[in-house]
Amino acid sequence: MIAILGLGVTVCMVFGGYILAGGKLSIILHSLPFEMMMIGGAATGAFLAANDFSTIKHAGADLLAVIKGPKWKKQDYQDLLCLMHELLAVLRDSPVEIEAHIEDPENSAILARYPKIQGDPAAVEMICDTVRSMTLQFDNAFQVEEMLEKQLSQMKEDSLHGAHALSNVADALPALGIVAAVLGVIKTMASIDKPPEVLGQMIGGALVGTFLGVFLAYGMVGPFAARVKSVREEEHSFYGLIREVLVSSLHSHPAPICVEVGRRNAPHKMRPSFQEMDDAIRELKKVA
């Protein structure tokens, strides 16, 4: 919602200042539909031409993420740490029993207690694949850490495709605005025999294209692309926490220490306190 508020403030301040300075909206409103058709249409066409269907779909989801904010909340980080504590405790006590959870995560009693995490394929795959490797005595902590780092790097790159696509659109909008303005000037030159007041309105209408291209680029699409990148990077920290806990386990630390390592690596505003985690783990033991 902050993104919508920011957009509203931008529009109000730009056009409010223009009106208070004595500007008239009639020229802008008259030219706006035609300029938007040229600039917006060209930007949309270029976006479709430059990206595959997956990226286009991703960009649509990214715009929704700007409004809703990051997927993972503070409670989700606490739930993840509790989940990792349960799985690592089972792995240490009974490596055979853990197979039921990692081979069939959809029917896992442990994962079922955390439905939001269970419903995220990327998180489930990272946890199950790595724990499976640990049960196969693939216990070189540094090699596993490198493997997880590469996986996380690829996940992050994939998650930022939409942000890069929107950023490219923002970069192109000023030039497309100039294209629309030049077309307006061409139209004006074809009516050079008109009275000065008519020519003034036509030139003003042509300049709306330049204004609109720059305004859309730096006042709307550019900030949205930056916000998308920020949201996706914040979400990526959730998966980084999984890596920290699993690698810590490979160094033969007990489950509570692994969870504490993960807790300290969570983003500050999403990090549960030590007491919150201690209480949550105590509740888990009561359930068990």
Contacts 24+ apart (CB under 8 A), 196-204: 201/27, 204/27, 204/31
Helices (H), the chain: 2-20, 25-50, 53-68, 74-93, 95-103, 109-112, 115-118, 121-135, 141-159, 161-189, 196-216, 222-250, 255-264, 274-287
pTM exceeds 0.85: no
CA atoms within 13 A on the CB side of 94: 8
Encode pLDDT of 62-91 as tens digits: 888 888 888 999 999 999 999 999 999 888
CB distance 282 to 85 below 8 Å: no
Given this model, what pLDDT does residue 288 score? 57
Given this model, what pLDDT does residue 189 score? 85
Given this model, what pLDDT does residue 139 score? 61
CB distance 217 to 170 below 8 Å: yes
Given this model, what pLDDT does residue 178 score? 94
Under DSSP, is residue 78 helix (H, G, I), strand (E, B) or coil?
helix
Given this model, what pLDDT does residue 137 score? 66
Under DSSP, is residue 143 helix (H, G, I), strand (E, B) or coil?
helix
Encode pLDDT of 184-222 as tens digits: 888 888 888 888 877 888 888 888 999 999 999 999 999
Local confidence pLDDT in tens for the 288 residues of the chain: 677 888 889 889 998 998 988 888 888 888 888 999 999 999 999 999 998 888 888 888 888 888 888 899 999 999 999 999 999 988 888 777 888 888 888 988 899 999 999 999 999 999 998 888 877 766 667 788 888 889 999 999 999 998 999 999 999 999 999 999 999 888 888 888 888 877 888 888 888 999 999 999 999 999 999 999 999 999 999 999 999 999 888 888 888 899 999 999 999 999 999 999 988 888 877 665
Query: How far is 281 from 258, CA to CA, in rounded Å?
Result: 13
